[in-house]
Structure 1
Amino acid sequence: MALPPTDWPLTGREAELQLVLGALDQAPGVVLVGPAGVGKSRLAAEARATLARRDVPTHRVAASPTATAVPFAALSALVGSAPPHRAVEAVADALRGRATGGAVPVLHVDDAHLLDDASATAVQQLVASGRARVVLTVRTGEPVAGPIRSLWADGGLTVVAIEPLGPAEATALVAAALRGPVEGRTAHRLVTTSKGNVLFLRELVEGSLADGALQERGGIWVLRGRPARTPLVEDLIGARLGPLDADEREVAELLALSGPVSLDLLGRITDLAAAERLERAGLLQPVSGRAAVELAHPLYAEALLDQLPALTRLRLSRLLAEVADAVGPEAAGGELRVVLWRRDGGLDTPAERLLAAAQTAAEAGDTRLAAELALAAHDAGAPMQAVTLAASSMAEHGRSAEAYALVSRMVDAATDPDEVGPLTLRLVEEQWWALRDLEGALDRCAAAADLPAPWDDVLAAQAGIFAALEGRALDALEASLPLVDATDPMVARHAAIAAALGLLLTGRPTEGADVSARVVEATAGRLPTHASDIGVHVVTRAYCLAAEGDLAEATELAELVYAGAAAQPGVQAQAWAATTVGEVAMRRGDVDGATRAYAEGEQAWLDAGQSGMARWAAASLALAHALAGRTEDAARAVARAEACDGRGFTMQEARLSRARAWVAFLSGEDGPGAAAQAAASAAGTGLTTFAAEAGRDLLAMGAAAEAAAVLGGLQPVGSLARRWAELAEAVVAADAPALERLAAAFEAQGALLDAAEAAAHASRAHRAAGAARDASRCATRSAELAARCPGAATPILGDRTASAELSTREGEVARLAADGLSNRAIADRLFVSERTVENHLYRAFTKLGISGRDELGDRLTPR
């Protein structure tokens, strides 16, 4: 599925486009300067198209490197058969022939640095005489003919620097081109590999689509493997690397293998004169803030490595490793890189170095590499810590069965309690998460009471985590709360996970957030980074904050986790991050954002082999579809959730029950009855937070009395759920002032969908009381808030506009007035008197709560 280049929109260049258009209004032209492939020509083409819509005549010409010695080569289509001394007049006549209304034509010259001298002089004269304005694109670092350079030095042209796209803009461009959201890790890989160069970015996407590496899965575009290079990219890279001599190529190959490397290390291996030549050629660049260098683009490294013979790779890797050992790992960029050079160079590496490198890889999120190095460390004689690290790393990217088999063999053979403890912890996690041997995992946790400290308490806390995942929140709290302040950091960290989850589920999210933060702070620096589970604590805290209604901090944490996970290869990290973003987005009312995030989370959990968590993500996705009114999509997501094995993760059943209730409601069945049953079931097991969410569903489905009964009977709950209870009570009482106050309170929390619905209920209450102006005011406020909830289409929002109050004739008159017709023109069109028109407008203004026709457009529903 290849997308033609014309389908790629202009994204991320809105500011530059306005700058170009503004400059053309005030100056004789614009020069777009930037590296090859950043989108100069695309930006110029968009400016030309905009000018054409304004009836400004435009024309494009392109200079060519093969025609720099041919006079007027670039302008030949405009010069025609005119003799050289008439060439400028011929071009001016051709451009003027396209003009209408006296507009000065615009000539777009692509690659103006390649213009032949005659064409350059003609362009300069056209601009100087005012017969044309110009948009010139020029490649950074290329020599430019004197007449062209004089245009921006002395001729008043505005110079606009076009830089590569930033990560956000590049990601938005890919999503726009693919017409769908892009997985975070996929976007990161495409952006970093292209380095924001639009040409490379487009070609990588096209190539990856063509070879199947980039596919749409569950509504999300996902890249598996590295981006595929197209023949065009290969040609462009080959043109840069092909002319290198032997010394230059060896330096380039060394840098492709090493990545950024210190000048000290590089100078011990090769002649720096060759490196200087590479820098002058634009193939090598200094690393900011360090006495180090790197290749100027990641694609150069990929191409060089693909062409590197095996023996050359071995020789250069060994050379890098030996020199790095001589100068120290800091000069090489860290011990991990040195160990990898030793591996690739066929050198034996001590077990302790392999294990340290594995730990570094795990901390960086590269769990595949961490597993490989940890297993190598164990084979080389490293302690049992290598096995647990290898197993946890394998599980992170879906190899849980292998991890279980490895740990199971080791725990049966272990006799040292200090080895049995960590192995047992790893084993029970795999039993629960991968094998779903719930009974076996709990039995091992119970038997661990005979282990020496701290492993007896660590396994007790782990049993608390399992209880929370099963929805036995009170059991989780009983097991964990006495341990959260333990002096041993492993005990405290595991207990904090169980306690925070239990507190969240039982309606005490503020306490859960505090436990997560307090324990992380108290144990900071006392555990290896890879063993501290810091990401889990951040995620748990974000969930707690979202449930409490502290959506600003929850959003900040979710975005932080997502950005970090997108830059890592680990699959589970991305799954946690995506579902966390979805959770917070739903609380804010960003239904489209939640849909994207939950869809990404579902796919990532499936890739990680964790169907229980995929069930959670799919059920959450179904709810997002439901809030957008997408009944069939919601039903399909429910079916996918039901197909996932949920054993060991039954805390999620309340969410799946809610999703089923919404599908029933949207299908015309008894949704409120199903939602009430979901609320009762959750409340009966102490999961008051989930019960409150089901109560909120009842209100959204229009069952306000039932919602008030459910929400009013739940204790304890977070502040957001308490406001839901107040909202339900105010709806039942038709208390418009209270509903308005609640709308403001929800907005202050960032719960914008709640705010929009509260304002809509206030409008309805005012309308019922005969307060038309207040009803219209609240309807308008609801519409404004709903506009900040992308994708939301809940039932009450369909009734939020006040224009439905207008009679057919009042609406007809109001629309004509909004279109700019005078009272006399409206009267003539409708065959009524002007006085009748005035009366209709007066009644419309009163009902809509406005004072004049200039406000009509904002208050009327779209046709």
Structure 2
Amino acid sequence: MEAEGFGLTVAAAQRWLPLGRDVLVRGDRGAGKSTVLEGLLADASRRGVTGILVRAGGSRALSALLDHASSSVRVPDEAALADWLTEELRARRSVLLVDDADRMDDPSLAVVRRVLGRTGSLLVASCTADPLRAAGPGIRDLLLGRAPAEVRVQPFGFRAVSALLESVLGAPADTGLTASVMAETGGNPRAVVALADAARAGGALRRVDGLWVEDGALGEVAADAVAYVFLTGLGPGCVDTLETLACAGPVPADVAARLVDPVALATLADHGRVVGHELVGSGEVLAVSPPLLARALRERVSPFRRRQLAERVAAEGGAVAASSAVDDVTTVLLAAPSGEGGAPAWVAQVAGLVHERATAEEGARRAEWLAGPTLATANAYLAALMRRPAPDPLAEVFARVTPTACDDPGERAAFAFYRWRWSAWSGVAAGSAACATGGTGDADDGAGRGGEAADPPAHPDLAPVAALGDLKPRLLRELAAGRPAGEVAAEADPEPGAPFARGWPAVLRAAALLEGGWPEAALDALDRAEAGDAGPETRHYLAALRGQALLLAGRLVEAEQWQRRMLDAAYDAVDDLAIRVHASMLAEVLYMSSQTAAAWRAVSTALRLGAPGPIGTTFYRRGLTVGAVIQAHAGNLTLAQVLVRELDRTPTAHRPLLRSLRPLAHAALAGATGEPSEAAWIARTAARRYADEGLLHPALLCWTLGGGELDAERADAVVDLEERTRVPLLEPYARLVVGLVADDHEEIAAAVPGTSADAAPALARAAEAVLGVREGTPRPTRAPVSRLGGVRAEPLSAREQEVAVLAREGLSNRQIADQLYLSVRTVENHMSRALRKLGLVGRSELADWGG
């Protein structure tokens, strides 16, 4: 894996310095700009390069230089200070590092500018605000003439937050806690530390099996300390603006401009305290960032002022409209240079907006339920509430609501279904340790916390959907017994009998065909599905199942394009459930396409939103499996163990929509910790149990990718499953297993190009040994996935053509923006759309584009 956390920014700056370019490090307060400069200073020292670090010391003239430990000048004399600093940097190679340049007094900056002119030293400066809009002229005069390369401090991703929490708490945090902290803080390291301290002080954490976990609602711990982190340097007007927006929730930009001072709004946007996301067709929506700051501000507002603000927002028409438009954010997301999973800063900001919007929607539906406590308003509240871990609010609703004979039967069925799923989920929350299976991979390997199980219990109100209970198990039994998959796909779906269950029969049929090992038939079933009036959850699952079917059918290019499109749409709609589902499914596609780093970034996208509640666990858990396998293969064992532990928090009494495949995660972890026999036992045990249940695709997956001895039993099982299924994706792996057991060199050589060494490292090593590949020779991997073969689905616009040509010539987004007189964000949008239309993953691939 690549560098993580601060190391990413240090590495980015180090790429410019050998070229003789100055560097400007931009980042949020608490993002770690000072740590980055300290890292660059330490690196310079190791390389024998003279380095001096000066920091802002207040408003007193020359305070930054007078307060330096090496300064012998104790009077405010610019000439003497310039002579001292010049002598310090007299070496031919030297670097001057200026921390918080936007807060440094102008006389100190004037001395710095004079010394740089005398010595020819390189400059590395850090700042939070845009230096072109700084209050004082000193920073503008310093930077404008030097044209530094700008490097952004990226928010921490999952790996970096996990490592930081382990450092702060003294032991690893489990996946749920890490994801919640990342979602609340936006990945800001200082905020992570502040929240961790507040959580411990407030008794919201406890140790279980050597890991820190939440003990109570993390969302209830005091957030004041975090507010101070982000409000430093902001005046009363800006604080009032943030308070208003925090109470209003995400609002359209035009509404925000009427609610608050536009000048303050622009200042806050420049500081990253207000972020926006463009909803195509609805305009830009603004919210306070990170979510934890918004909560801290809301907690400080009196009820009277909150009512005043609510009236003002309503008077300005502050309702936020969702949009289903598609915009390609995944091209930028997955081509990000962060190997540890940190998305670009704006992706982290969008995650914060998603969090805030979900909070606002949940609050609005709760208010409607309290004002009119009907079964319909309770169900609407539950639909929002069940997307996140919220045991106390959920328990409150189920305790206070009692359906009556006068209620609509469909609403009664929906309420009973929600209560069943909550009961399964809350049972895990109360005793998750008892639910772990020790990695044996039992057949019921994970619906998550209640998950999308297909077999709700007998209940009078669930009579309208009782026929769905045995649909998937029945179809699996019939497929395993030899019923043609085409017949299963063409069979008419049973009438669900309740509005909330519309589309579920198609979901269950497609899932059965996929796990039965017939992806092409699953695609046929999905094509026949009529889900126009289905609920959002059902539509997301149908779309994700299509991505899974395309993947298993070996149509990797189509699968990747489809899942990227779905994730783009999920971001445009600011839909937390859809983002979790499609980011996790995209991770599977990318992993099997040998794009391991991008796959981990996709997993991190789902993790960035925090853990799901009773709704939305199936694909999230499959994403956890992909992430655990990636980290185990990369040797990041602590993180892999944390992800596996989250997978183990699973009830064994319910069947999920799709199995999480967690035995593969356990097998990968066992193999990485030096227990290959344990890994083989886990994979084989799971494969046999899957096969016994008719889950022939998961069984074949465990026999091919699960590792272990290459013996006759494995080869026979693979041949048997191959005869009973049709999974093109796994055919090369199956041929490789059989060829290795038979020592058939021709078969092995023919199969290797169709496999991914990342997905099956043990098979790749075995093939290398048989084929006599010398040490150091690149390992055989799946043939590169083609990108539309040069044929565009859409033509580039004139502006997209210009941007793509300049990017191909090596210009940065900032340089392109300056040349075309555009904003950097506009260039980013044109760049991402151009890459999507060209079928390219990253701008580096433009080198082969004909233009």
* 1:782 to 1:378, Cα distance in 2 relative to 1, 3 A: farther
* Partners of 2:517 and 2:726 within 8 A in 1: yes
Are 2:132 and 1:127 aligned? no
Are 2:509 and 1:504 aligned? no
Residue by residue over 1:106-164, the C-alpha shift from the partner in whole angstroms, topping out at 9 and shown as x without a partner, is: 33344456666765554444333337554444653334466x755555xx523344556
Q: Superposition pairs for residues 301-320 of structure 1, below 5 Å?
A: 301-320=294-313
Are 2:676 and 1:686 aligned? no
Q: Superposition pairs for residues 605-754 of structure 1, below 5 Å?
A: 608=614, 645-649=651-655, 679=687, 682-696=690-704, 700-714=707-721, 715-747=724-756, 752-754=758-760
**Distance in 1 separating the partners of 2:66 and 2:355:** 56
**Distance in 1 separating the partners of 2:289 and 2:646:** 45
* Partners of 1:509 and 1:544 within 8 A in 2: yes
Q: With CA pairs under 8 Å and 6+ residues apart, which has the higher RCO, 1 or 2? A: 2
**Distance in 1 separating the partners of 2:605 and 2:28:** 37
Are 2:538 and 1:533 aligned? yes
Q: Which amino acid aligns with 2:513?
A: L
Report the Cα offset of residue 511 of structure 1.
2.0
Q: Which amino acid aligns with 1:731?
A: L
The correspondence for 2:96, drawn from 68, 86, 107, is 107
The correspondence for 1:64, drawn from 57, 63, 66, is 57
Question: Which residue of 2 is the match for residue 14 of structure 1?
Answer: 11
Q: Which amino acid aligns with 1:50?
A: D
The correspondence for 1:413, drawn from 405, 411, 422, is 405
Q: Which runs of 5+ in 1 are unaligned?
A: 1-6, 337-359, 449-454, 767-774, 789-863
The correspondence for 2:244, drawn from 244, 254, 263, is 254
Are 2:329 and 1:333 aligned? no
Aligned CA-pair RMSD: 6.1
Q: Superposition pairs for residues 163-562 of structure 1, below 5 Å?
A: 163=152, 165=154, 173-175=160-162, 177-178=164-165, 190=182, 193=185, 203=194, 224-225=218-219, 229=223, 231=225, 234=228, 237=231, 240-241=234-235, 243-244=236-237, 253-259=243-249, 261=251, 276=263, 301-321=294-314, 323-324=315-316, 329=317, 331-333=318-320, 369=363, 372-373=366-367, 375-376=369-370, 379=373, 385-393=376-384, 395-396=386-387, 397=389, 409-410=402-403, 413-414=405-406, 441=456, 448=463, 459-465=466-472, 482-484=491-493, 493-516=503-526, 518-519=528-529, 522-524=530-532, 526-527=533-534, 529-530=535-536, 533-551=538-556
Question: Which residue of 2 is the match for residue 78 of structure 1?
Answer: 71
**Distance in 1 separating the partners of 2:113 and 2:55:** 16
Question: Which residue of 2 is the match for residue 157 of structure 1?
Answer: 146
Question: Which residue of 1 is the match for residue 341 of structure 2?
Answer: none
Residue by residue over 1:346-382, the C-alpha shift from the partner in whole angstroms, topping out at 9 and shown as x without a partner, is: xxxxxxxxxxxxxx99995988547635633652x5x
* Partners of 2:23 and 2:124 within 8 A in 1: yes
* 1:732 to 1:37, Cα distance in 2 relative to 1, 3 A: closer
**Distance in 1 separating the partners of 2:85 and 2:635:** 58
**Distance in 2 separating the partners of 1:63 and 1:302:** 30
The alignment covers a number of residue pairs equal to 697
Question: Which residue of 2 is the match for residue 46 of structure 1?
Answer: 39
The correspondence for 2:134, drawn from 142, 150, 154, is 142
* Partners of 2:252 and 2:286 within 8 A in 1: yes
Q: Which amino acid aligns with 1:500?
A: A
* Partners of 1:112 and 1:144 within 8 A in 2: no
* 1:394 to 1:44, Cα distance in 2 relative to 1, 3 A: closer
Question: Which residue of 2 is the match for residue 760 of structure 1?
Answer: 765
Residue by residue over 1:256-289, the C-alpha shift from the partner in whole angstroms, topping out at 9 and shown as x without a partner, is: 3224556886798x8x7x6656757979979688
* 1:741 to 1:404, Cα distance in 2 relative to 1, 3 A: farther
Q: Which amino acid aligns with 1:254?
A: T
Q: Which amino acid aligns with 1:695?
A: W
SS of 1:80's equivalent in the other structure is: coil
Report the Cα offset of residue 42 of structure 1.
3.9
SS of 1:740's equivalent in the other structure is: helix
**Distance in 2 separating the partners of 1:361 and 1:93:** 50
SS of 1:495's equivalent in the other structure is: helix
* 1:395 to 1:465, Cα distance in 2 relative to 1, 3 A: farther
Q: Larger Rg: 1 or 2?
A: 1
**Distance in 1 separating the partners of 2:212 and 2:573:** 18
Report the Cα offset of residue 499 of structure 1.
0.8
**Distance in 1 separating the partners of 2:406 and 2:747:** 65
Q: Which runs of 5+ in 2 are unaligned?
A: 167-171, 324-353, 428-449, 785-851
TM-score, structure 2 as length reference: 0.62
Identity %: 20
**Distance in 2 separating the partners of 1:662 and 1:278:** 49
* Greater mean deviation of Cα atoms: 127-136 or 465-474: 465-474
**Distance in 2 separating the partners of 1:79 and 1:762:** 67
Q: Which amino acid aligns with 1:309?
A: S
Q: Which amino acid aligns with 1:720?
A: L
* Partners of 1:695 and 1:711 within 8 A in 2: yes
**Distance in 2 separating the partners of 1:605 and 1:81:** 55
SS of 2:119's equivalent in the other structure is: coil
* Partners of 2:82 and 2:112 within 8 A in 1: no
SS of 2:148's equivalent in the other structure is: strand
**Distance in 2 separating the partners of 1:630 and 1:390:** 40
Q: Which amino acid aligns with 1:523?
A: A
Report the Cα offset of residue 742 of structure 1.
0.8
**Distance in 2 separating the partners of 1:605 and 1:505:** 25
Residue by residue over 1:486-512, the C-alpha shift from the partner in whole angstroms, topping out at 9 and shown as x without a partner, is: 899977611211111211122112322
**Distance in 2 separating the partners of 1:59 and 1:429:** 60
Q: Which amino acid aligns with 2:509?
A: A
* Partners of 1:152 and 1:158 within 8 A in 2: yes
SS of 1:692's equivalent in the other structure is: helix
Residue by residue over 1:774-798, the C-alpha shift from the partner in whole angstroms, topping out at 9 and shown as x without a partner, is: x135x65564659x9xxxxxxxxxx
Residue by residue over 1:234-256, the C-alpha shift from the partner in whole angstroms, topping out at 9 and shown as x without a partner, is: 27626534x55xxx876664333
Q: Which amino acid aligns with 1:372?
A: R
Residue by residue over 1:408-431, the C-alpha shift from the partner in whole angstroms, topping out at 9 and shown as x without a partner, is: x42x62586666665676677678
SS of 1:503's equivalent in the other structure is: helix
